[in-house]
Every structure is written in C-alpha cells, then in structure tokens.
A and B are shown apart, each in its own frame.
Chain A
C-alpha cells in the first residue's frame, strides 16, 4: 500500500515537474514548545533555507502532554525531535524510529542544589529528596543513581524522587533538596528568581560522563527504504544545520525569529540560544557512537528496554550531506 502511494506520488511529482517545481512536504514535530532549543529549524524556515532545498516544512511545537513518538506513529509527522532514551523505548514498543541526525552533541541536563543546603557532593544524596522530570527525561537520572548504587525508593539509604513540574518551584519552596534543570532553560529561571551562580552546586551530566543523547532527529525506518525519501531527509537535515549555524552566529536575530513563532520572553531566548550553541558545537549533525552506546547501556541497565537495540541509528543521511 505504502509503495503504491509512493509510486503514485512519484508519478504525480514527475507530471507536475513541468509546472512550478513542487516542494516536498515535511512535517517536523518538536519535543517542547517553541523556544531557542529549536532555533535551527525556525531559522531555516524563516530564512528560506528549506525553500532553497525544495522543501515545504511545517513545524509543530510540542508541549507537556505531547509525546512526539506517538505523533509520528499516528502519521502526524515525518520527522520528530526526540531524546534517544524515549526513542529507544518507543522502538522496542514497535514504533520503528531511527536516528538520522544528532544536532546536539552534548546534553544540557544537570542537577542543581543550593550551596547552603545539605548536599555538597554526590556522597550526600542519601536520605534526601531530588526533583526529576519524567516523560522520557528521567532516564539519565536513574542511570546515574544506578551507577552510584543508590536506591530510588526513598528511605534512609536511598533517595526520594519527586516528580518535578517543568519549573523551579520545588527548589524555591524547599520541597526538594536538588532539582533538575536544563543549562539553557530552567537554570536561568533560577537566576531570574534571584539565585547567583555561586549559590548553586551543579552536577552536570555531560561533565560527569553520564549524559544520554538529547535532541536528535528521528524518522520511521520503513521510509528510509525509499531513496527519494532519503534524499528529502538529506536536504532537510542539511538545511536545518545551515539554520543552526546561522542561529549560533546570530543569536539575537534567532531569538527574534523564535518570538515571531510564539516563543516567550526575548531576553530568555537570547540566553538560551547562547547555551544551546555550546551543546551543538560543530553543526555537522553526526551522531557520536560512544554516546549512543552509553545511552543504550543505561536503558538496558534500568530495564527500560529489554534487549540490545539494533539499527536504531543510521549515518546514511549525514554521510550524504557533505557540508
């Protein structure tokens, strides 16, 4: 059925080639709301990089109640921005997600504790309450606790886990001893709330070597059998990375574009852009196999997935990009 549709589409495209060249449709589902975390895609759209690549891209913002894996399984998107943890879990459940590009080289997640609080080093966690986001963002934390050999069931020798809302209230309210933040987002909310960098003890997942892959681009396996689709993805990723390169070079303009697309608070977006740029580094979208291995192992250790994933990422798209 899919093949017939593909052939029909190909025929239709050939027939229409005489007219104005039809742009290829791509729907991108983001993992979160419109913010500088996704600046590259918004910039590529706004600056016409997608158009130059012969693409007509629709960007759908996400939110706290949107699971990109479900959207793509339901046919609501061609490509999604997702974290590797969530993608591998979904892959085991029969959604054939494949990582085709990994714009984020480093993870932005960290755990922060007030410097005047009970926790100074990793040895102090026992018997305290730590705030963690769920919805696929809990895997790095559980992997880390696993590594430290701490139970997450609470009690004297373990840590009590608080499911944190997507803000920094639990720390300000003293409901948790430490909370999760993203370097590019909630950390700055703490700064806005009157904390200073020296008031916080930061456990950064990347620096500890506990980072799991964050924002990558995923599509469905079956689509990649079609060379035309792969070509479309190559153009899409290439244009997106061009957008990322532009956004990192012009953070102020990128922030303005985000605001035009429904982002909040220009100042916050500018700061976020600066932090995101650090995570992206060289915009070549190549996945680092070691980071992938670490992610897969962490998920296996926590029994989030039961067997070693196979074919969960491919370099077929990034190999053809030749920046």
Chain B
C-alpha cells in the first residue's frame, strides 16, 4: 500500500471511464480512435493521481489528462451538434472529476503549494464552467437562441470589437461615469450639510428612503422626457440611483465616531470643522467606501436598464434589448460579458483604493 494512495474523485472517474468504454464512438463525427484516446488519457489521470508521486508530477498528469480529454471531447462535437451519447457525458464527467482532484491538490490537500495556487484554483474553476457549458450545450443540441455556447460568444466578441467599444463608450464612459461621480459627490456634500444642520437630516432621510425605493422602470421614461433620449437621461437615472445610498451611508458614518474620541476633541477645544475633518470623516471612510461600492454596481445596472427605453442606436442596454429581438443571443452574451468585466474592474479598483485610504482601520488587522 506504500505505492498506492486512492482518492474518491479518481475512483469515481475510473468508474465513469469504464462505463464510457461501452459507448464508443461518442458522437457522430468522432472516430473510434479519438474516443479511445480520450479514455486512455482519463485512465492515465485517474491512475496517476492514485500513485504516490510528488505533488508537481501529480499536478502535471492531472492537467494534461483532464484538460486534454476535455479538449478532445469538445473537438469531437464539430458538425455533430446534439449527437453526443451517454458515453460522451460519462467521459466528460470523468474529466471533470479529475479537474476537481486537481483543484483539491492545488488547494493543499495537506501540502502547501504557495500563492500560485490561489490564482490557479479560481482560473481552473472558470475554465471548467466554460468547458461544461460548451460541451453540454453543443452535445445535447440546446437551441442557439436559448443559450449560445461560449465559443460562439468568444467569436462574436472578437468580430464585433468595434461595436462593443462604441457601446462601452456610450454607456460606461458617458452615462455611468458622469452619473456616478455627480450622484456620489452630491450625496456626500448633502450628507455633510445634513450633519451640520439637523433639520436637513430629519427632513431628507425619510424622503431619501422613499426615493431610493422608486422603481427604475418608472424613473427612466420620465428622465427621457426631461433630458432627451441621449446619454444625459441615462446619467440622470444613475444620479438618482447613486445619490441616496451615498447620503444614507455618509450620515451613518459621520455618527460612527466614538463618544470617547469626541470628548477628546472637545478637550482640545477643536472647532466643529476640525473635529469633522480630523476625526469624524476618517471614521466614516468605511461607510463611504461601502456606498461607493454599492453605487458602482447600481450605476452600471441603472445605465443599462435605462437604455431599454428611448435611446440612440448605440449603448450596452440598447444592444442587449434589441439583439434579443434579432435572435443574436451571442451578441447579447458578449455585452453581458463586457458588463461583468467592467463591473468587476470598477469594484476591484474601489476595493484597492479603500485599502489604501483606510489601512489603519481595525478590520484590516491580521
């Protein structure tokens, strides 16, 4: 038993591989030899991961076997949409289990492999989501108009880069950026004023809570009537959506400084403004960044949905809503991917900025 170290993923993978032997060839255009090559790769991976090898060697074997088998399986779908049989999916499951085993090994499994694995694991996860999506959609022949495969979306992204850039420019660089900055800034300034003049806070907060509950679907057409159909009306929707989270969060943040610290400021005879800038604003920073992060997602959603109403014929929301009608679902998904990337980068940049500004905060102590 010194040489042999079984694990459950590899055992299950072995079972699935043996089952797939009964159903060669896997698809209409896949010849027997490439089906057997898949099986050979899977066997290599399953057995290789159960031997006592060094971690690096095991990882190498698993990468080659699981991704190689998946690549061959997806290649076997060329001109054979919807013809995949049970053996095909058994093979796919076996490859996926080996991928799971690979992630387990990378995540440590009792051995520490350093920071590389913390990047590799999510990447592998993402790759497998795409592999399964591609293989299941094309293997079972799900209609293109219900869910296009990722390969078609990737092709669309590369062939329609100019359209995507024009949409990005219209929606993100004009409507989102302008609306986000104006909305967040005015929310912040009004919060400072409300903090200074009590009656403003008492009057504004209930109104703010009510306004933040306004449905965007109702606000957007009104903004189109007020500000015309170009990006200005979309920016106005974003301003409305981002103003109140900032206001409410900043007011809560300004109240978050402790009594003890405030008393200390008072004993130093600090003015109201001094204690605001030296104590209460820094203490409110986590709240303000929280609002900025909430607003980054709200702004993107707001601008895209606002473009479902009257718009010029450019913009991410316009493209999504019209290409659905033209059955170009690959274009719709390309825009969704673009929105996801933009949203993630936006959020990530804010998170980095927050670390730089509020490094002193207790929540960052290790």
Whether A67 lies near B327 (C-beta < 8 A) is yes
Chain B residues 251 to 284 lying within 8 A of chain A, measured CB to CB, are none
Whether B318 lies near A136 (C-beta < 8 A) is no
Cβ–Cβ < 8 Å partners of B313 in chain A: 152, 161-163
Whether B310 lies near A170 (C-beta < 8 A) is yes
Chain B residues 274 to 313 lying within 8 A of chain A, measured CB to CB, are 309-313
Cβ–Cβ < 8 Å partners of A173 in chain B: 225
Q: How far is the CA of A86 from the CA of B143 in the complex (A)?
A: 16
A195 near B: Cβ within 8 Å? no
Whether B146 lies near A70 (C-beta < 8 A) is yes
Query: With A95-B143, A134-B321, A134-B322 in contact, is A175–B327 under 8 Å at CB?
Result: no
Q: Which of B145, B309, B311 contacts A93 (CB 8 A)?
A: B145
B126 near A: Cβ within 8 Å? no
Q: Which of B144, B221, B324 contacts A67 (CB 8 A)?
A: B324
Query: With A95-B145, A136-B326 in contact, is A163–B221 under 8 Å at CB?
Result: no
Query: With A74-B146, A95-B143 in contact, is A162–B312 under 8 Å at CB?
Result: yes
Expressed in whole angstroms, the minimum distance between the Cβ of B237 and any Cβ of chain A is 14
Query: With A163-B310, A163-B312 in contact, is A175–B325 under 8 Å at CB?
Result: no
Cβ–Cβ < 8 Å partners of B224 in chain A: 165, 169, 175
Q: Which residue of B lies closest to A176 (CB)?
A: B229
A94 near B: Cβ within 8 Å? yes
Cβ–Cβ < 8 Å partners of B75 in chain A: none
A204 near B: Cβ within 8 Å? no
Expressed in whole angstroms, the minimum distance between the Cβ of B281 and any Cβ of chain A is 43
Q: How far is the CA of A131 from the CA of B326 in the complex (A)?
A: 18
Q: How far is the CA of A152 from the CA of B312 in the complex (A)?
A: 11
The residue among A69, A73, A131, A163 with the most chain B CB atoms within 10 A of its own CB is A163
Q: How far is the CA of A149 from the CA of B14 in the complex (A)?
A: 65
Q: How far is the CA of A138 from the CA of B221 in the complex (A)?
A: 20
Cβ–Cβ < 8 Å partners of B225 in chain A: 169, 173
Q: How far is the CA of A161 from the CA of B310 in the complex (A)?
A: 11
B32 near A: Cβ within 8 Å? no
Cβ–Cβ < 8 Å partners of A161 in chain B: 312-313
Whether B322 lies near A70 (C-beta < 8 A) is no
Q: Which residue of B lies closest to A160 (CB)?
A: B312
Whether B310 lies near A90 (C-beta < 8 A) is no
Whether A89 lies near B312 (C-beta < 8 A) is no
Query: With A163-B310, A165-B309 in contact, is A90–B318 under 8 Å at CB?
Result: no
Please report the total number of B residues contacting A with Cβ < 8 Å: 23
The residue among A92, A93, A94 with the most chain B CB atoms within 10 A of its own CB is A93
Whether B325 lies near A163 (C-beta < 8 A) is no
Please report the total number of A residues contacting B with Cβ < 8 Å: 30
Whether A175 lies near B143 (C-beta < 8 A) is no
Q: How far is the CA of A74 from the CA of B309 in the complex (A)?
A: 26
B108 near A: Cβ within 8 Å? no
Binary per-residue interface labels of chain B (109-152) against chain A in the complex, 1 for a CB within 8 Å, 0 otherwise: 00000000000000000000000000000000001111000000
Binary per-residue interface labels of chain A (79-96) against chain B in the complex, 1 for a CB within 8 Å, 0 otherwise: 000000010011011110
Whether B325 lies near A73 (C-beta < 8 A) is no
Whether A70 lies near B321 (C-beta < 8 A) is no
Cβ–Cβ < 8 Å partners of A89 in chain B: 326-327
Expressed in whole angstroms, the minimum distance between the Cβ of B183 and any Cβ of chain A is 24
Expressed in whole angstroms, the minimum distance between the Cβ of A305 and any Cβ of chain B is 10
Expressed in whole angstroms, the minimum distance between the Cβ of A240 and any Cβ of chain B is 25
A164 near B: Cβ within 8 Å? yes
Q: Which residue of A lies closest to B141 (CB)?
A: A94
Query: With A93-B145, A162-B229 in contact, is A67–B310 under 8 Å at CB?
Result: no
Cβ–Cβ < 8 Å partners of A73 in chain B: 143, 145-146
Binary per-residue interface labels of chain B (3-24) against chain A in the complex, 1 for a CB within 8 Å, 0 otherwise: 0000000000000000000000
Cβ–Cβ < 8 Å partners of B329 in chain A: 93
Q: Which of A86, A131, A162 contacts B325 (CB 8 A)?
A: A86
Binary per-residue interface labels of chain B (209-246) against chain A in the complex, 1 for a CB within 8 Å, 0 otherwise: 00000000000010011001100000000000000000
Q: How far is the CA of A93 from the CA of B329 in the complex (A)?
A: 9
Q: How far is the CA of A161 from the CA of B313 in the complex (A)?
A: 6
A304 near B: Cβ within 8 Å? yes
Expressed in whole angstroms, the minimum distance between the Cβ of A49 and any Cβ of chain B is 32
Q: Which of A70, A134, A135, A160 contacts B145 (CB 8 A)?
A: A70
Expressed in whole angstroms, the minimum distance between the Cβ of A129 and any Cβ of chain B is 9
List 12 A–B pairs whose Cβ atoms lie within 8 Å, in order of A's numbering: A70-B146, A70-B324, A92-B327, A94-B144, A135-B325, A136-B325, A136-B326, A165-B224, A165-B309, A169-B224, A175-B224, A175-B228
Other than the given A70-B146, A136-B325, 12 more pairs (CB < 8 A) read A67-B324, A69-B327, A90-B145, A90-B327, A92-B327, A93-B328, A93-B329, A94-B144, A131-B310, A152-B313, A163-B313, A165-B309
> Which 7 residue pairs of A and B lie closest in terms of their CB atoms, listed nearest first?
A135-B325, A134-B322, A93-B327, A136-B325, A90-B327, A73-B143, A163-B311
